[in-house]
Amino acid sequence: MRPIVFTGLLLATVASPAISQSSGQGDVSVTIYNDNLALVQDIRQLNIPTGRSVQDFPGVSGQIRAETVGFSAANTGIIEQNFDYDLLSPSKLMEKAVGETVTIVRINPATGAETRERAKVLAANGGVVLQIGSRIEVLRDDRLPTRVIFDKVPNNLRARPTLSVTLNSSRAGTRPAQLSYLTSGMGWKADYVALFDEKAGKMDVQGWVTLTNNTGTTFDNAKTLLVAGTPNVNGRSNYPSRTNIRSAGIESADRESLGDFYLYPLAARTTIANAQTKQVSFLDVTGAPAQKTYEYTNRWLGSQNEPQSAATVLEFSSSSNGGLGDALPAGTVRVYMKDISGQPQFIGENSIGHTPMGSELGLKTGEAFDVKVKATVSERRRLSPNKWRTSMTYELSNARPGAVTVSLIQDGLDFYWDDTRIVDESMKSARRSADSVIWKVPVPANGRETVTAVFETRF
């Protein structure tokens, strides 16, 4: 076996048959969940002797959850397992050499003469301290031609994350052995690119699966399955987040499911390299109906000194009839429109949650330049110790050359779970929930519109 050479503070490893360059992986399948979790199943051909033996599994994830490891092979039982994640590196090699003897090689820059001395490594904490004969010396990175030669690689240092399993077999021979485990450091999300044609009321959408692998390990030629959903892990609660779904769909998607999760298998095996982001297409729709709308939400007793921009909202459906025609995994939708020269330009993005097929969605893509709303508390009177009357005025303006309709939302009507009544309004509203009402306000081109409303509340 040839030695390991440490040059200054940079490691050069001389080829050694003890360090395999193979990943050691076999037939690998990876199931990836949304929330930094993956299930790895690896079938390897092992030559297992009779009785007790130790089998090494290099090429496992560096973030393996060792307590989730499962192993199975015919006529074989597992006694114990160890996960070695202390990886071979220049600094680790020196740390493990503390108390051991190494060879220091120096070359005289003037004469080229080489000298060798045996040295004991005393410490490797922020620098290397050596004992050479009766003197103590610090190994410095001063770019002088100095090398440190190690006699061997310590047994507890691995070139890659390695799981070692102690087995007891009732027979000898080569047989398939399946290793399975959960790991952190791997996840996926959906990314959508939407090209919106406002005049035609249509949009083209491409959906991309974006995989990330930060496990410290590359998975070669892996059969890959994506699960749209987040299983509960260690009692962790998943708090609801904004989904931008206006109406949840009730259509069944033509996809394989696992429990209450949808599955998105990749069509072909793929190599998931460490520290890599990989994108694979899963959705390609042209000419789906879509429209731009405007929304403005006013908080309770919200009164502005200056007009505020209405939100620009893109509305579309995931329905099979007149929509994207699929269940949509959670991700980010990035919206583009063509400028006058025909070049697509980015106009905004927003996220969606896991969306059933047949849902209606509304994504805020930005704030309107030309459509403004100014909400004012015009009067507020106490009618009794526990009743108030509030008069609101909403002034809407439109500097666009075409008429628009603004969804004007008054929020916070039931903040303290008290009764709220609209006793007067200039146009008919619709109740969205116990907490809000909405007016669909048409505003003429280059024009204005005013909405007034009187509320009676207990606050």
**What's the domain range around 392?**
289-457
Query: Which of 184, 206, 232 marks a domain boundary?
Result: 184
**Which residue(s) pair with 338 in the sheet?**
344
Per-residue pLDDT of the chain (459 residues; tens, 9 = 90+): 444 444 443 333 333 333 333 347 899 999 999 878 999 999 999 999 999 998 888 888 889 898 898 899 999 988 888 776 556 677 777 787 888 888 888 888 888 888 898 989 898 887 888 889 889 888 876 666 778 888 887 766 666 677 888 899 999 999 999 999 999 999 999 999 999 999 999 999 999 999 999 998 899 999 999 998 767 776 554 545 678 998 888 888 888 777 888 888 888 899 999 999 988 888 999 999 999 999 999 999 999 999 999 999 999 999 999 899 999 999 999 999 999 999 999 999 999 999 999 999 999 999 999 999 999 999 999 999 888 999 999 999 999 999 999 999 999 887 655 578 899 999 999 998 888 999 999 999 999 999 999 999 876
Q: Is residue 309 part of a domain?
A: yes
Q: Which two tokens stand for residue 370?
A: 């030309």
Q: Which pLDDT score is estimated for 57?
A: 85
How far, in Å, CA of 356 to CA of 203, rounded? 19
Q: Is residue 225 part of a domain?
A: no
Query: Which of 158, 184, 210 marks a domain boundary?
Result: 184
E strand segments, 170-228: 173-183, 186-197, 202-213, 219-228
Q: Is residue 203 part of a domain?
A: no
Q: Which pLDDT score is estimated for 149?
A: 85
Q: Is residue 248 part of a domain?
A: no
Alpha carbons within 13 angstroms on the beta-carbon side of residue 119 total 27
Cα 370 to chain center, whole Å? Answer: 36
What is the total count of domains within the chain?
A: 2
Do 176 and 311 sit in the same domain of this protein?
Answer: no
**Which residue(s) pair with 440 in the sheet?**
407
Number of other residues whose CB lies within 10 A of the CB of residue 453: 20
Do 180 and 295 sit in the same domain of this protein?
Answer: no
Do 148 and 297 sit in the same domain of this protein?
Answer: no
Do 303 and 178 sit in the same domain of this protein?
Answer: no
Do 17 and 152 sit in the same domain of this protein?
Answer: yes
Note whether 207 and 283 are within 8 A (CB).
yes
Q: Is residue 445 part of a domain?
A: yes
Q: Is residue 153 part of a domain?
A: yes
**Which residue(s) pair with 77 in the sheet?**
168
What pTM value is reported for the model?
0.72
E strand segments, 69-198: 70-73, 76-84, 101-107, 114-124, 128-132, 135-139, 146-150, 162-169, 173-183, 186-197
Tell me the CA distances in angstroms from 27 to 24, 40, 141, 221, 222, one per residue in order: 10, 11, 44, 8, 7
Q: Is residue 357 part of a domain?
A: yes
Q: Which pLDDT score is estimated for 17?
A: 30
Q: Is residue 273 part of a domain?
A: no
Sign of CA dihedral 241, 247, 248, 251: negative
